[in-house]
Amino acid sequence: MTSKIPHMPPCPACCPYSADMSKGAPTLTKDEFIAQVRNVGLRLTSHLDHLDSGDLALADDVATVTRILLGPGAGNNAIIRLCRQNHLEEPTLLVGPSVEIEKGTVFAVGSIPTPDEGATNPEERSLSLNAWLSSMAVISASAARWATTWSQLVADFGNTWGAHLSPTVPDVLVQAKLFGAVGGDLRTYLLRAAAIVAERSLQELLPQVGAALPDTAPRKISNDGMLEGLWVKLVDHAPALSFGFMLFEPKVVEVFRSPLPVLKKVMVVRSRDTDAVDKVDLEMFLEDPT
């Protein structure tokens, strides 16, 4: 004889079933909320440490906790909630150029977080955390969602592989995986950049409520350099690339890689080793996709 398992409602968005279960339940006190945010911050730092040591599987865990801290939704957005509950001023961050919507743009990334020191691009600007989350991160002419904000991008990362195992993948994430950025792929670069924004924000805010995280060395957006923005456009039906970057020291590193389906080739941009600190030599070439 088998017992009948009661039907469980579906879990669209982010768990309204869990929200129903919480109706009438006691809410977190302010101190409990601060303690939970600190715990999530400790998890984020641990996951980033493992990711930076080469364990790429930890990117999924980085996505999970970054969504909690920065993503939209009642159970997320923890850093902004921390600020509002405790009357703290929002952190600010330096970001690269915004996405410029121009005729022929097929893919573009903008408002990428940059290091707090050594800013070189006059288009870099300072934004509050909430303003940055609302700014456009990715534009893709062929994606179902043409424009994606940083808040939506963080949610996409967390909902697809972090907190869930989605049967579908947002096409903007698939497309970002095709691009290379400063020695890795663009998707991981953007996720890690958002996670570092969250980590730095907690390092600034938690001491103000008596819950400081352990001291750690400032984490670089990338160990090799920094991508400031990229645009892929069609000019007279041919692809034209535009991007900005900064390398931290002269070395050979792949700066940028872009699929060019029109030409059935891949454009590769690589720095060439040079002793001149103020100059980076580049080589650009086409290769067949592998």
DSSP for 155-180, please give it.
HHHIIIIIS---SS--HHHHHHHHSE
HSE, CB side, 13 Å, CA atoms: give it for residue 104.
12
Q: What is the mean pLDDT of each run of 10 residues along the chain (290 residues)?
A: 37 45 73 96 96 87 95 93 96 87 80 69 81 93 86 92 70 78 80 95 97 88 71 66 60 67 71 55 70
pLDDT tens profile 198-226: 999 999 999 999 999 998 888 877 666 67
pLDDT of residue 80: 97
The pLDDT value recorded for residue 23 is 63
Strand partners of residue 79: none
